Amino acid sequence: MSSEALVLGIETSCDETGVGVVRGSTLLADAVASSVDEHARFGGVVPEVASRAHLEAMTATVHRALHDAGVTLADCDAIAVTAGPGLVGALLVGTATAQALALAADKPLYGVNHLAAHVAVDRLEHGPLPQPAVALLVSGGHSSLLRVDDVTSCVTPLGATIDDAAGEAFDKVGRLLGLPFPGGPHIDRLAAGGSPDAIEFPRGLTGSRDMERHRFDFSFSGLKTAVARHVELRQREGEPIALSDVAASFQEAVVDVLSRKAVEACRGQGIDHLLLGGGVAANSRLRAVLEERCSTAGIALRVPRPALCTDNGAMVAALGAALVEADISPSAIGLAVDSSLSVDRVTVD
């Protein structure tokens, strides 16, 4: 197979209908249709609404991606699709589409892991991935630390969230503060006018005993509760709530834990490259603190541009291209989705 595989990638794990086209490590098209506005009135993603939105947007998004890339389906070497983890109904829309396209065009099909795709997308921004590397993936559904020896075949989990993921905590705290959904971007903007040291919120799983059992794991449920108690106490006592200080202090607690554990994971693994991905990677404070701490520790930090950090088809296509170029066997045309697909399974059979 050519070292410059042309791959169509489809991503439907949550509320973004993403279709990307990649040639090798070059991004040709990245079409996204978001249903976030449809979920906003519920304050979170509604699985049934997401699935219907994918159905309605899929055909047009595929056509737009192929048009933008200036290629046809027949030109593609393979089709890649997110098979998990994610919302079952949403995943089924994507895989059914990919299966139909693969059958119609007689193309190999790759069912890929959503988290591994978040790592692979960095190929499009900075070229070949360092081997090995540590990846910090932070989104609404995942807060994970991974050792990546080869994104096509060897991804090892080091730690993960044991309750609320970071992005989920941002959304819940945003709702507490009366901010629109999704909460992350609004908290980031609000925090710019506040003090990160104004309120001493807890840092989950950072105590000495926790570090023995959960060295690279994350917990943000207690932090969310602490913010809620702070807000409730002020309301009960009739005191004004300094929203910008609350936002800044909450954000600082999340960023402090994420960045500290990421740097510690690199040191513990003897690795000097850290990749950051996932929707929360767009957070300005997380980027700034990671850059500072990685620089101090002699760790090279690689972060894709924000548009490639959120869920998108380009990341799936990027992983698909890497799999084709590595001569990894494709998935069966009747592949099944797995809502809790383990990150050490880069592809499904």
Question: Model confidence over 264-321: pLDDT tens digits?
Answer: 999 999 999 999 999 999 999 999 999 999 999 999 999 999 999 999 999 999 999 9
CA dist 270 to 131, 260, 263, 277, Å?
12, 15, 11, 20
Which segment of 4-18, 41-55, 102-116, 198-212 scores lowest on mean pLDDT? 41-55
Beta 16-23 vs 26-34: how paired, if at all?
antiparallel
- Distance from C-alpha of 138 to C-alpha of 159, rounded to nearest angstrom: 12
- Mean of pLDDT values over 196-201: 98
Which of 85, 67, 27 has the alpha carbon at shortest distance from 278? 85
H-type alpha helices, 270-305: 284-297
Tokens of 195: 């003090």
Beta 133-138 vs 143-150: how paired, if at all?
antiparallel
Alpha carbon 217 to its chain's center: 17
Encode burial over 302-329: b for 16+ CB neighbours within 10 A, e otherwise: bbbeeebbbbbbbbbbbbbbbbbbeeee
How confident is the model at residue 37, as a pLDDT?
A: 81
- Distance from C-alpha of 190 to C-alpha of 105, rounded to nearest angstrom: 49
pTM score: 0.95
Residue position matching structure tokens 């069912």: 111
Where does the pLDDT of residue 1 fall: very low under 50, low under 70, confident under 90, or very high at 90 and above?
very low
CB 263 within 8 A of CB 152: no
Say how many CA atoms lie within 13 Å of 200 toward its Cβ: 0
How confident is the model at residue 40, as a pLDDT?
A: 82
Which segment of 39-48, 319-328, 338-347 scores lowest on mean pLDDT? 39-48
**Who's near 70: CB < 8 A, 6+ residues apart?**
28
3-class DSSP string for 19-53: EEEEECCEEEEEEEEECHHHHHCCCCCCHHHHHHH
CB 219 within 8 A of CB 161: yes
Cis preceding-peptide flag for 128 (omega within 30 of 0): no
- Distance from C-alpha of 153 to C-alpha of 21, rounded to nearest angstrom: 22
Indicate if the pLDDT at residue 42 is higher than 90.
no
Where does the pLDDT of residue 128 fall: very low under 50, low under 70, confident under 90, or very high at 90 and above?
very high
**Who's near 332: CB < 8 A, 6+ residues apart?**
109, 349
How confident is the model at residue 140, as a pLDDT?
A: 83
For residue 294, the one-letter residue type is C
Domains of the chain, start order? 6-121+312-348 (3.30.420.40), 129-305 (3.30.420.40)
**Who's near 187: CB < 8 A, 6+ residues apart?**
170, 173, 174, 177, 179, 247, 250, 251
Question: Model confidence over 150-163: pLDDT tens digits?
Answer: 999 999 999 999 99
Where does the pLDDT of residue 191 fall: very low under 50, low under 70, confident under 90, or very high at 90 and above?
very high
Tokens of 171: 């959304």
Indicate if the pLDDT at residue 173 is higher than 90.
yes
How confident is the model at residue 141, as a pLDDT?
A: 85
- Mean of pLDDT values over 96-119: 98
- Mean of pLDDT values over 75-97: 98
Indicate if the pLDDT at residue 3 is higher than 80.
no
140/213: higher pLDDT:
213
Encode burial over 128-156: b for 16+ CB neighbours within 10 A, e otherwise: ebbebbbbbbbbbbbbbbbbbeebbeebe
- Distance from C-alpha of 287 to C-alpha of 154, rounded to nearest angstrom: 26
